[in-house]
C-alpha cells in the first residue's frame, strides 16, 4: 500500500518509505553535532554545581534542576508514550519522587543529568503502561527496548545533548504514528490525519473527503478500528478495503 | 462513501458515539486512542503553574536541610540547658552527683526509703474484693512518706 503523503508541518518530515530509518539517523546525527557544538547546548558546569548541591541536600538546587528538565520530560517522553495529560502529570510527579529517592546513587556524567532523568521517566511510564488498561500507542515491549537502549548509552554517549534526545523521543513517537497510518487504507489515514491529529472541523473534513458528515462519522469509526488493528503486532494483516 | 460497504446499525451507533466523544460528550475507546495519537504527534506543553505545583508537592516530601539544622541546634541547646540544670541541682546539694555521697548524712539517714507494702496488709488477700481499699492504703502511705521526705529536705522538720 502506498503511503499517504502526510505533510503536516512541524510533526513529520515525510521520508520516502524504506529510507526513513537511514535518513532519520543521519538527521539525528546532524542535530547532535549542531547541539554539541552550540554554546547554548553546554550548561554542564552550572548543572554539575547544581547536582552537587542537590546531592548535599539543597532543595532549591534540586528544584532548579527539575524545573529545567521536567517540562521537556513531560512533553517528549511521558506525554507521547502515555497519551494522556493526567497520566503524564502523575508520571512526572512519580519521576520526581524517584529522583529524590535515588539522587545519592547518581554520579555526574559529561552528558549531564537529563539522560538519567529520561531513563527514570521511561521506567515510570513503563510501569504505568504495564499496570493500566488505557489505549496507548506504545506497548510495554517497545518502551522496554527504548529503556535498554537508553541505559546502554547512559554515561558513555557524551554527544547525547538534551535537545537531541528530546527531538529523538518526539521523532520515535511520530514515526510510530506514521508507521501505523502507512499500514492502513490511505483514505482512512487521511481521515484520521485531518480530523484527529489536525483537529479540523468534522463538516470541513467531510466536505474535503466528498461525503456527508454522517457518512464521515462511519468512515472515521472504520478508520480508527483499522488503526487499532495496525498498532497491534498480532494484527499484521490489518489492511482495510 | 461510494467505495465503502453500507454501515451496519451497530457501526452507525458506534460512529455517533465516537463523534460525540471527540466533541467532548461522553467516552469512547477510540477517542482515547485518538487523543493518544494527537499527543504523540503534537504533544502539548505542561503549563508552568501546573509544573510548579507538581514540583512543590514533590519537594515538600524532601527533608529540609535548614529545618534539620535548626532541629539539631535545638537539640544541642536543650541538652546544654538540661546539663546546666543538673549542675545547678548538684551544686545546691539537692541531688547527689554520681559516685558521690551527700554530706548531710543526718538528713539522708532520716529520709524514708523505698520499701515493700507488705506490712500494710494482713496476708493473704481475699480472692475477690478489697482492691480499691488496698490501693488507697498504698497511696496514702506513699503520700505520707513523700511529704515526710519533702519536709525533711526542706529542713522544716
> Which residues in A54-77 are b (16+ Cβ under 10 Å) and which e?
bbebbbebbbbbbebbbbbbbbbb
Instruction: Reply yes or no on whether the pLDDT at A129 is more than 50.
Output: yes
Residue-wise pLDDT for A74-90, tens only, equals 999 999 999 899 999 99
- Stretch A119-145: mean pLDDT: 84
Q: Are B30 and B63 members of one domain?
A: no
Residues 6+ apart with CB under 8 A from A226: A184, A185, A188, A238, A239, A240
Residue-wise pLDDT for B48-97, tens only, equals 999 999 999 988 877 665 555 666 667 777 777 788 777 777 666 665 55
For this complex, say whether ipTM is above 0.90. no
Evaluate the omega torsion of the peptide bond into residue A205 and state whether it is cis, within 30 degrees of 0. Answer: no
- Structure confidence at residue A126 as a pLDDT band (50, 70, 90): very high
Task: Report if residue B100 sits inside a domain.
Answer: no
Q: Are B59 and B87 members of one domain?
A: yes
Closest residue to B65, CB basis, from A59, A100, A197 = A59
Residue-wise pLDDT for B101-146, tens only, equals 555 555 555 777 777 877 777 777 777 778 888 888 888 888 888 8
Range of the domain at B79: 48-91
Instruction: Reply yes or no on whether the pLDDT at B1 is more than 60.
Output: no
Task: Report if residue B135 sits inside a domain.
Answer: yes
Cβ neighbour number for residue B120 with a 10 Å cutoff: 12
The rounded Cα B62 to chain-centroid distance in angstroms is 18
Task: Report if residue B117 sits inside a domain.
Answer: yes
Residues 6+ apart with CB under 8 A from B46: A70, A71, A74, A75, A88, A89, A92
Please say whether the beta carbons of A202 and B15 come within 8 A.
Answer: no
- Give the pLDDT confidence score for residue A213 in this predicted structure: 93
- Stretch A208-230: mean pLDDT: 93
To the nearest 10 degrees (0 to 180), the angle between helices A59-72 and B48-59 is 140
Instruction: Reply yes or no on whether the pLDDT at A44 is more than 70.
Output: no
Q: Which three cell numbers stand for residue B29?
A: 475507546
Q: Are B33 and B57 members of one domain?
A: no
Tell me the C-alpha distance between A165 and A31, whole Å.
10
Q: Indicate the DSSP class of residue B131.
A: H
What is the tally of structural domains in chain B? Answer: 3
Q: For A175, which residue in chain B has the nearest alpha carbon?
A: B41
Please say whether the beta carbons of A221 and B15 come within 8 A.
Answer: yes
- Give A 31-60 residues with CB within 8 A of chain B: 56-59
- Structure confidence at residue A192 as a pLDDT band (50, 70, 90): very high
Better-scored residue on pLDDT, A3 or B25? B25
Cβ–Cβ contact A137 with B under 8 A: yes
Cβ–Cβ contact B67 with A under 8 A: no
Q: Are B52 and B84 members of one domain?
A: yes
Q: Are B36 and B52 members of one domain?
A: no
Cβ neighbour number for residue B32 with a 10 Å cutoff: 16
Burial of A118 (0-12, 13-18, 19+ CB in 10 A): buried
Give which of A212, A230, A15 is closest to B37, Cα–Cα. Answer: A230
- Give the pLDDT confidence score for residue B115 in this predicted structure: 76
Tell me the C-alpha distance between B106 and A101, whole Å.
63
Interface mutation vs chain A, best among B5, B29, B36, B53, most A CBs within 10 Å: B36
Task: Report if residue B126 sits inside a domain.
Answer: yes
Q: Indicate the DSSP class of residue A40.
A: G
- Stretch A77-106: mean pLDDT: 92
Instruction: Reply yes or no on whether the pLDDT at B28 is more than 80.
Output: yes
Task: Report if residue B99 sits inside a domain.
Answer: no
Please say whether the beta carbons of A10 and A195 come within 8 A.
Answer: no
Amino acid at each position: 500500500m502506498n503511503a499517504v503523503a502526510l505533510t503536516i508541518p512541524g510533526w513529520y518530515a515525510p521520508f520516502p518509505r524504506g529510507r526513513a530509518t537511514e535518513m532519520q539517523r543521519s538527521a539525528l546525527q546532524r542535530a547532535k553535532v549542531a547541539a554539541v557544538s552550540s554554546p547554548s547546548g553546554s550548561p554542564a558546569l552550572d548543572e554539575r554545581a547544581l547536582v552537587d548541591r542537590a546531592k548535599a541536600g539543597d532543595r532549591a538546587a534540586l528544584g532548579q534542576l527539575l524545573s529545567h528538565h521536567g517540562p521537556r520530560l513531560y512533553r517528549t517522553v511521558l506525554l507521547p508514550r502515555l497519551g494522556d495529560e493526567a497520566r503524564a502529570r502523575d508520571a512526572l510527579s512519580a519521576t520526581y519522587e524517584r529522583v529524590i529517592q535515588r539522587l545519592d546513587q547518581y554520579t555526574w556524567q559529561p552528558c549531564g543529568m537529563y539522560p538519567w532523568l529520561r531513563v527514570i521517566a521511561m521506567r515510570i511510564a513503563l510501569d504505568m503502561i504495564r499496570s493500566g488498561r488505557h489505549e496507548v500507542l506504545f506497548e510495554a515491549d517497545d518502551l522496554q527496548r527504548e529503556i535498554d537502549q537508553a541505559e546502554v548509552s547512559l554515561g558513555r554517549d557524551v554527544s547525547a545533548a538534551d535537545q537531541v534526545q528530546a527531538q529523538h523521543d518526539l521523532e520515535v513517537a511520530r514515526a510510530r504514528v506514521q508507521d501505523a497510518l502507512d499500514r492502513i487504507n490511505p483514505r482512512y489515514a487521511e481521515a484520521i490525519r485531518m480530523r484527529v491529529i489536525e483537529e479540523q472541523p468534522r463538516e470541513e473534513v467531510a466536505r474535503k473527503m466528498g461525503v456527508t458528515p454522517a457518512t464521515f462519522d462511519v468512515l472515521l469509526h472504520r478508520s480508527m478500528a483499522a488503526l487499532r488493528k495496525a498498532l497491534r503486532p498480532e494484527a499484521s494483516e490489518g489492511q482495510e478495503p | 462513501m461510494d467505495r465503502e460497504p453500507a454501515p451496519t446499525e451497530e457501526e452507525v451507533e458506534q460512529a455517533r458515539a465516537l463523534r460525540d466523544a471527540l466533541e467532548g460528550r461522553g467516552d469512547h475507546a477510540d477517542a482515547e486512542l485518538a487523543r493518544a495519537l494527537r499527543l504523540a504527534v503534537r504533544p502539548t506543553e505542561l503549563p508552568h503553574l501546573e509544573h510548579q505545583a507538581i514540583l512543590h508537592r514533590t519537594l515538600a516530601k524532601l527533608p529540609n536541610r535548614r529545618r534539620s539544622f535548626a532541629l539539631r541546634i535545638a537539640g544541642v541547646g536543650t541538652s546544654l540547658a538540661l546539663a546546666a540544670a543538673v549542675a545547678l541541682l548538684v551544686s545546691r546539694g539537692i541531688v547527689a552527683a554520681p559516685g558521690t555521697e551527700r554530706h548531710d548524712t543526718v538528713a539522708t539517714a532520716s529520709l524514708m526509703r523505698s520499701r515493700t507494702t507488705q506490712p500494710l496488709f494482713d496476708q493473704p488477700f481475699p480472692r475477690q474484693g478489697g482492691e480499691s481499699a488496698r490501693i488507697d492504703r498504698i497511696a496514702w502511705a506513699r503520700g505520707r512518706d513523700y511529704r515526710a521526705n519533702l519536709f525533711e529536705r526542706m529542713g522544716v522538720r
